[in-house]
Amino acid sequence: MKIKAIGRLVTLGSLLALPLSTAFAQLTLTPQIRPRAEWRNGYKNLPSATAKAAFFVSQRSRVTLDYKQDKITSRFSFQDVRVWGDEEQAKDVASVSVHEAWGEIMFSDVFSMRLGRQELAYNDERLLGSVDWAQQARSHDAVVLKARFNNDWSLDAGGAFNQEKEQLSQTDYTLNNYKVLGFVWGKKVLQENFTLSGLFVSDGFQGKGTNKDILFRYTYGADLMYKKGELQLNGAFYHQSGTGVSDKAIGAYMGVAEAHYTLNSLKATIGFNHLSGSGGERSKTRTFNTLYATNHKYYGYMDYFTNLPMDTRNGGLHDNYFKLHYSTNPNYNVALDYHYFALAANVPATETLSGTKNKYLGSELDAVFNYKYSEGINFSVGYSTLFASDSMEALRGGDASQHTDWGWLMVNIQPKILLKAFDKEQ
């Protein structure tokens, strides 16, 4: 949503005045400037023999205002996302949007309710995530009921109903988004070393053409974590059912298994993700959809698989990975990831794209170095390359014989400023 400069100043001034009328309050301002330079030569899609690499600088400029009082917690987060030079000089092009604007009412030490535009991030963000890597990130207009019991049992239930404008009649919704969303999340510390969490998500989309009914998709499953000493084991399984926008029944699943082991300054991770695919089946959708996940951190940093199942043409995905993370100093760390990508099911040919005969898609290497210069200032640099197969070329186009790489450099300036804090005695 767009807002004018005068309106932003009035809103911010009103927020700054809030603590003056309360007995106990805290106001924190967090500005963020995050420019990122990128070299793209095969990022997201294979290059052709004649394609030239791209280079640009994008930037997120965000300011977040957090307010906390005995019974109220709220957040207002405004941001501008742009590419350097994307508008002519000496022009005022409105571009500021509201990323978050929510208030949370504390009914007791256990129960609360959060309403408004907010990020929804649960478990490891495999289904609901903030997508913070993307400069614009992701947020939802929703209401969430929260319960926290004795620090070992948590429960959230939330929902949303989307409309593109105020209406006098009907509730038709034509945007490329869900119309209805509902979810329940629970997390329980079972024993000293075990943590179990479950998530149920129901999202509904308005039918096309003459069918205006809401078609509901249901995703449900659980994550289990075991941690003892230097060893951590994670497992997850989710199933999908209901009806898709194509009016077909859904029967899909996702499975995850991974192991982490830390030895002094080195952490090693090995695991796999498996997302089922439909292949050539037409009667039922068997391709798992990752919903509103943060896919960037799971399926390779070159982002060939951020929109699943579209990015695999309903072929699903199998991802074997091995990761190393090394740090001898809290201000420095380096990470190296390897991914082996394959389809869960071969994809048939279309009028414009070939089919796949081999499920193997390619291997990717990702390297990242992070440096914390000071509190609120971080530098990151990364380089990735993809060794694509003929099946990747058949799946996505481009030329698999061309060298692909992607490099980036990012600076994150994000200090926290305490504007006002006082207690009941003042």
Residue 327 lies in a domain: yes
pLDDT at 422: 57
Q: Which residues contact 396 (CB under 8 A, 6 or more apart)?
A: 45, 46, 304, 311
Using only the alpha carbons of the chain, give its radius of gyration: 23
3-class state of residue 10 by DSSP? helix
The length of the chain is 426
Residue 51 lies in a domain: no
Supply the range of the domain harboring residue 383. Answer: 102-413
Q: Which residues contact 55 (CB under 8 A, 6 or more apart)?
A: 37, 38, 39, 40
Tell me the residue ranges of DSSP E strands in 164-251.
Answer: 180-189, 194-206, 214-228, 231-242
Rounded Cα distance, 290 and 125, in Å: 10
Burial 251-269 (b: 16+ CB within 10 A, else e): bbbbbbebebeeeeeebeb
62 exposure class (CB count in 10 Å sphere: 0-12, 13-18, 19+): buried
Closest of 177, 66, 184, 182 to residue 122, by C-alpha: 184
Rounded Cα distance, 106 and 421, in Å: 19
CATH number at residue 246: 2.40.160.100
| Cα 389-392-393 angle, rounded to 5 deg | 95
User: What is the model's pTM?
Assistant: 0.90
Residue 5 lies in a domain: no
Identity of the amino acid at 353: L
pLDDT at 423: 56
Query: Own/partner pairs for 326-333, CB < 8 Å, 24+ apart?
Result: 326/265, 326/266, 326/267, 327/265, 328/265, 330/372, 331/371, 331/372, 331/373, 332/369, 332/370, 332/371, 332/372, 333/369, 333/370
Tell me the residue ranges of DSSP E strands in 252-296.
Answer: 252-263, 266-275
Rounded Cα distance, 70 and 105, in Å: 9
- Give mean pLDDT in consecutive 10-residue pieces for the chain, a chain of 426 residues: 43 46 77 98 95 97 95 96 92 89 96 98 96 97 95 93 92 91 96 94 87 91 96 98 91 98 97 92 89 96 95 96 96 97 94 90 98 97 98 94 97 91 54
pLDDT at 3: 44
Tokens representing residue 404 in the block: 């692909």
Residue 182 lies in a domain: yes
Residue 6 lies in a domain: no
3-class state of residue 369 by DSSP? strand
Query: Torsions phi, psi of 54, nearest 5?
Result: -105, 150
pLDDT at 174: 87
Closest of 163, 165, 204 to residue 183, by C-alpha: 204
Q: What is the DSSP letter of 348?
A: -
380 exposure class (CB count in 10 Å sphere: 0-12, 13-18, 19+): middle
pLDDT at 351: 82
State the residue for tokens 């609901």.
128
90 φ/ψ sector (left φ>0, alpha ψ -120 to 50, else beta): left
Tokens representing residue 102 in the block: 């929510």
Residue 359 lies in a domain: yes
Closest of 19, 43, 207, 199 to residue 121, by C-alpha: 199
Q: How many domains does the chain have?
A: 1
pLDDT at 19: 45
